[in-house]
Chains A and B, each alone.
Chain A
Amino acid sequence: MEMTVTDVEYVARLARLELSLKEKELFAGQMGAILGYVEKLKELNTDGIVPTSHAVPMENSFREDIVFSPIGLEKALANAPDRAGSFFAVPKVIE
């Protein structure tokens, strides 16, 4: 399957990735080859087959509604690249 640099740029934007031109060209070739390979699934007639999203058939799984201690503010924020008081700080969202 043909995958162009423009296709790669479109997908990269959806995935929040920024690629160099070299990476884009490399990925276009490699993704094209992989997508070409997966085309073989089209050989199979899957009309009426129910898709599987989960290998073990399970109903909704609930646990007892019991209060337990949360992880705590300091622990939750310990890995924050930037914080402001009890919040995660991020760069400006609105211009």
Chain B
Amino acid sequence: MNIFNMTIHELHTALKGKQISSVEATSAMLKRIEAVEPNVGSFITVTPEHALAAAGKADQLIAQGACELLTGIPLAIKDIFLTEGIRTTCGSRILHNFIPPYSATSWEKLCDCGAVLLGKLNQDEFAMGSSNESSAYGTTRNPWDTTCIPGGSSGGSAAAVAARQAIATLGTDTGGSIRQPASHCGCVGLKPTYGRVSRYGVIAYASSLDQVGPLTRDVADCAVMLGALAGHDPKDSTSVDTPVPDYSATLSQGVKGLRIGLPKEYFIDGLDPDVQKAMDAAIDTYRRLGAEFVDISLPHTDYAVATYYLIATAEASSNLARYDGVRFGHRAEADGLLEMYTKSRSEGFGSEVKRRIMLGTYALSSGYYDAYYVKAQKVRTLIMNDFISAFADVDVMLTPVAPTPAFKVGEKINDPLQMYLSDIFTIPVNLAGTCAMSIPAGFSAAGLPIGLQLIGKPFGEETVLQAGFAFEQATEWHTRKATI
């Protein structure tokens, strides 16, 4: 089998059995990246020297008999994670020259397990976008059809998994930015519960919503990655100090008797017929496996996108105030301080980022704060209460990830509102702060992947992974590969 097609658990077995070294595996991945990158554009920075050095170290560990699940596994991470000594752009021109002085905890945790960094992945600028078209470093293409978007904002993270340029990747999810690209690229993507994974060293977009998570080829790999990432971090005061279960150990418990909720607001008339068909088939599969279905309602679903685009933009306008050209990043030539701020920001930020900063500034501005920002925070409470009530009766929820398969490059770029509405099924989960995973569940007539979303209770990742694993064992969608 080609190394680049392997999962974490397959490559781990090969490394542990000394059939292959990490240096060989890493070299094979670097070759693969070189071969397909011109067609996909998943990476902003490839780091071959770092990768081979880390792989060499991993091989020493393996020779000493210390081969953990991630030891020597070549991974890539979204360019939103700070990596000490390696340029980190967050997809923005304003950080084109930024070399972080420290690393994100999540990435450090993977390094501590012996993982190998292949490079930094393309993304929408500051994670603002659903198509990767807002990156200042070119648009990543969908490996299943390069005229289509890969989804966003972790588009590079999903495309790299689908194009087999990395064994697994890291992304972030503020309104669907892991799950939507995972769905569009046919891979597994998990947004953990808010507080489950440290965000220290992750460039902030909307701090009350941002969360770190893995994108992988299958659910078993997802469990491995989450196990390595999860846990309290003293450097992130929003990370929660609750025990981390052994996600891999409980994967195969099955779904017999599991109560799965079907929120009626997610099965709307506008749903693409291929997506509807995939959901119907998935429901049949789960029934056959012994799960019970319950019709539920999340009555405030229709207000989630509006709520999100007030809260997220307000938080973004505040978080992005730090890019002023003083301490790091792009600085424009100017005669005075105010002019330097304004020019540096105007030259450094792209259109979507400017638009969101403007919206957020407006929502927080004098006279509008209560009508927009506080109102949205109150509606957020209603949306959270919807989930709390519904979860009193069910263990997980099953929904589509996106209303349509991947759309064409350029199709929605000039209509931001239409672009925002493509996140309608993923946004409520971030507002409620709970966890959800996208897993491959079929293909459209045009051959594009379709994902299904399993939404769990807060800190209910174990159940979500079990439900995903059971589906994966009963289907073969996740084994299909994009021909690229």
Contact = CB atoms under 8 A, between A and B. Distances in A.
Interface in B293-336: 300, 302-303, 305-307, 309-310, 317, 321, 324-331, 334-336
B101 A82 contact: no
A5 B24 CA distance: 58
A21 interface: no
Contacts, number: 162
Contacts of B240: 56, 58
Nearest to A46: B378
Contacts of A17: 342, 345-346, 349, 354, 357-358
Q: Give the interface size bracket for A toward B.
A: 35 or more
16 contacts: A15-B317, A16-B324, A16-B342, A23-B354, A27-B358, A30-B416, A33-B417, A37-B417, A44-B303, A52-B377, A55-B195, A78-B101, A81-B326, A81-B329, A90-B337, A95-B336
B208 A41 contact: no
Contacts of A37: 305-306, 309, 417
B377 A91 contact: no
Contacts of B258: none
Interface string A58-90: 100101100000010001101111100000101
Contact of B358 (A31, A53, A54): A31
Contacts of B208: 53-55
Given A15-B357, A35-B362, A92 B336 contact: yes
Contact of A81 (B331, B431, B458): B331
Contacts of B420: 34
B321 to A, nearest CB: 8
B343 interface: yes
Nearest to B383: A52
B346 A41 contact: no
Interface string B190-234: 000111000000000000110000000000000000000000001
Nearest to B375: A41
Contact of A46 (B238, B309, B325, B379): B379
Given A52-B384, A63-B234, A88-B326, 19 more contacts: A14-B361, A17-B342, A18-B342, A34-B309, A34-B420, A41-B303, A41-B310, A44-B300, A52-B377, A55-B209, A55-B433, A64-B234, A79-B327, A80-B328, A81-B328, A91-B334, A91-B337, A93-B336, A95-B336
Contact of B194 (A15, A41, A55, A90): A55
Interface in B109-124: none
Contacts of A27: 354-355, 358
Contacts of B141: none
B358 A8 contact: yes
Contacts of B267: none
B365 interface: yes
Contacts of A19: 346, 354
